[in-house]
Amino acid sequence: MSKSNRKRLKLNLLKLLSKYNFKNNPIIIKLLLIYGFIFSAMLLLSYLTFMNYKNDKEISTLEVIHQSNSQMIDSIDNYISELSYSGELPLYNEQDGDNKLLLGLKEFTETGIITLPFSKDTEEQLLRILAYKQTINSAFIFNLSGKSVYKIRGGSLYSDYNPSSEEWFDKSRVNLGKPIYRSTFELPNAYDINKKGIFVFSVSRAIVSPQNFEVLGVILVNSDISFLTNLCKKTLLSPQQRILVIDKDGTIIYDTVQSNITGKVSGKDVELVYADNSKTKNVTIKGVEYLLSATESELTGWKVINLIPKDVLNENIYKMRETTILITLLLLASSFIFVFIMSRQIVSPLKKLLLLMKLVIKGDFDVRIKIKSRDEVGQLAKTFNVMTRRIRKLIKEVYVDKIKQKEIEVQMLQNQINPHFLYNTLESIHMMAEINHDKETAKMARSLGKIMRYGISNTNEKVTVRQEIEHLQEYISLQKIRFEEIFEVILNVSEEIYDCIIVKMILQPLVENAIYHGLSKTETDGRLEVRGYRKENNVYFEIIDNGKGMSESLVKKLNNYLDDLDNSFKSIGLKNVHRRIKLNYGADYGIEAESTPGTGTVMRIKLPYNI
């Protein structure tokens, strides 16, 4: 896919995601999406952790293998050096300034005859060599013609072994005492105590006269391959691991697959020969994938090659991966069940609540949800029940208030009929009194007419405080004529509230109630005060009389009567004013009575300040 196509695909995916509104999904889908996202993140994290662990494991294992290779090479080099040193022992067999072994070897080379003294000297030296290392299998001292005297540990030759035509023999003669390292071979004409062939690797060198540097013969020291076997056993990390020791020509000096010993590395496995010391590579041998690590000896040029099957290397990691996958699947299943159960516990009550809300929308406010949990859903259900209960209560209150308001309006409309008739009659009486020069009667008829005219208008009409006071003054003047001078009326209304808009006909009924129930029984010194003032955002009127007053229980009954909690009183005027104030301004406003027996009564009106 080209870069432009990938970019176009990415833009299309972003557009698709932007059009898809996740907010409209059901809650259970959102929960599952969140769960899927978290689980996917955990899977990705687990995978990255596993891969890092796998890489670290491979690196640490390869470091161990490199160290093992180096230790093997060091052990082989040290061992070869010791074999080489054991081959020098005959050179130090001097007695009285002469080396009898060298003299005998020179005679042996010239005549081909093994003398008895020479035989004894060589046997002694060969036994010294075999005693030097338990893994030394045999030692040979050859004359230049290839004839030998030898010693084999636990075995013998069934016929003479003459290597004069072999390459290593010629190299040993011409190298003037430098060691020649020979790869593993089967010792010719030899067998062990079990009549089996003997496989050895060797160090050979020329025996040179120290006086004239004449080559007198060749010594060969052979080591049993058990040394390499034991060395490899200590190094093996797994039974499937393969360790080889090869020379520069690809000859297999040792192989944990012992049938390959003395063979050649095949053409398919040529990478083994040219394996770099500093690198680890993947190779496939006979269909098996290996990690290859190689280390080469600077002394012999031999190379130790470690081959570990990748499946074996990662065996524990793969087991851990399988265990992790199994645990992950179990966690996935259990967590899915848990999420499903928890989502049902959340979604089911919400669905029930939604269903009941639809019933509330249709007008059924008697529904109630039963959820016992104390979580957010339980709190929501509790709030829903409280809400429906309050709605029912408010509906009932509004419904009852409307009915009562209608009753009051009907009653007032009915009451308006008689005042309307009386107003016309009072006008006639006023005219007759004027004609008859009865000024007092004419004044009473005029005042009563104004009072009637003020009350006949729309009961819902609102007036200013000034208008309400003027109407109250007409009523007071009328009552003074009737009750002569048995009480005085004091108007103490702040001019600040004169332009305030209030419901009409709220002061006269309270003044009337104070006169008839508080002052009518007073013979002299009656006092009625009407106060009006503003306090913060409210307007207060207080009608205060110094009449006989009321007991505390009677005051309580009067206040309860005004709030429809008691029916002991029949004062329509007070209740009418109280209800109209509440209907117009709310439950925080209305009339409240205060009284003390023998000192009088205070009727307090509370209204909002409104201009």
Residue spans of the domains in the chain: they are 87-227, 228-314, 472-611
CB count in 10 Å sphere of residue 603: 24
* CA gap 359, 364 in Å, rounded: 5
* 534 pLDDT above the threshold of 90: yes
Name which CATH class applies to 228-314: alpha beta
Q: Given this model, what pLDDT does residue 15 score?
A: 58
- Let me know: does 54 contact 317? Beta carbons within 8 Å: yes
Q: Which of 64-78, 209-223, 537-551 has the highest mean pLDDT?
A: 537-551
E strands present in 509-577: 526-535, 538-545
Q: Among 242, 290, 240, 296, which residue's Cα sits nearest to residue 273?
A: 296
- pLDDT tens-digit map of 477-525: 877 776 666 778 889 999 999 999 998 888 988 988 888 887 767 767 7
Q: Which tokens is 118 given?
A: 């020479």
The secondary structure of 224-290 as a DSSP string is ETHHHHHHHHHH-SSTT-EEEEE-TT-BEEEESSGGGTT-B--GGGHHHHT--TT-EEEEEETTEEE
The Cα 166–Cα 414 span in angstroms is 150
Q: Which residue has the tokens 């190779």?
A: 283
Q: What is the mean pLDDT of residues 101-122?
A: 84
Q: Which of 219-223, 273-277, 464-468, 607-611 has the lowest mean pLDDT?
A: 273-277
**CA-based torsion, 547, 551, 552, 554: positive or negative:** negative
Pick the range with the lowest mean pLDDT from 25-29, 186-190, 580-584: 25-29
Q: Where are the beta strands (DSSP E) in 546-578?
A: none
Query: Which of 111-125, 268-282, 351-365 has maximum average pLDDT?
Result: 111-125
Mean pLDDT of 134-157: 87
Which pLDDT belongs to residue 452? 63
Buried (b) or exposed (e) across 64-82, using 16+ Cβ within 10 A? ebbebbeebbebbeebbeb
| Residue 56 tokens, joined | 């670290």
Confidence band of 96 (pLDDT split at 50, 70, 90) = very low
Is pLDDT above 70 for 560? yes
Whether residue 605 has pLDDT greater than 90: yes
Whether the per-residue pLDDT at 141 is higher than 80: the answer is yes
Higher pLDDT, 436 or 551: 551
Calculate mean pLDDT across residues 183-209.
85
Residues in the chain: 611
Model confidence at 294, pLDDT cuts 50, 70, 90, reads confident
pLDDT of residue 275: 58
Q: How far is CA 324 from the centre of its chain?
A: 20
Confidence at residue 526, expressed as pLDDT on a 0 to 100 scale:
83
pLDDT in tens, 162-175: 998 999 999 989 88
Question: Over 80: is that where the pLDDT of 214 sits?
Answer: yes
More confident residue, 152 or 433: 152
Q: What is the average pLDDT across 50-78?
A: 80
Q: Which of 32-36, 250-254, 451-455, 553-557 has the lowest mean pLDDT?
A: 451-455
pLDDT for res 425 = 61
Q: What is the mean pLDDT of residues 563-577?
A: 79
- Mean pLDDT for 428-453 is 65
Separation between Cα atoms, residue 531 and residue 534, nearest integer Å: 10
Q: pLDDT band at residue 419, thresholds of 50, 70 and 90? A: low
Quote the distance between the C-alpha of residue 596 and its chain's center.
71
Tell me the average pLDDT of the chain: 79
Average pLDDT over residues 215-231: 90
Helices 465-483 and 439-456 pack at an angle, to 10 degrees, of 140
pLDDT in tens, 36-62: 777 777 777 777 777 777 777 777 777
Residue 169: predicted pLDDT = 93
Asked whether residue 101 carries a pLDDT value surpassing 90, the answer given is no
Per-residue pLDDT at 339 exceeds 90: no
How many CA atoms within 13 Å lie on the side-chain side of 198?
26
Give the residue with greater pLDDT, 145 vs 176.
Answer: 145
pLDDT at 434: 67
CATH number 3.30.450.20 given to 87-227: yes
Lowest mean pLDDT among 149-153, 307-311, 500-504, 569-573: 569-573
Share of the chain above pLDDT 70, in %: 77
Q: In CATH terms, are 87-227 and 228-314 the same topology?
A: yes
Q: Would you say 525 and 485 are in contact if contact means Cβ atoms under 8 Å apart?
A: no
Residue 220 pLDDT > 80: yes
- Of 119-128, 197-206, 356-365, 486-495, the poorest mean pLDDT is in 356-365
Indicate if the pLDDT at residue 544 is higher than 50: yes
Residue 539 contacts by C-beta under 8 Å, 6 or more apart in sequence? 465, 497, 500, 502, 532, 533, 606, 607, 608, 609
Q: Where residue 428 falls among pLDDT bands split at 50, 70, 90?
A: low
- CATH 3.30.565.10, domain 472-611, yes or no: yes
Rounded mean pLDDT, 252-260: 87
| pLDDT confidence band for 592 (50 / 70 / 90) | very high
The pLDDT score that the predictor gives to residue 417 is 45
The set of residues, in sequence order, having a beta carbon less than 8 Å from that of 597 and lying 6+ positions away, is: 548, 549, 550, 551
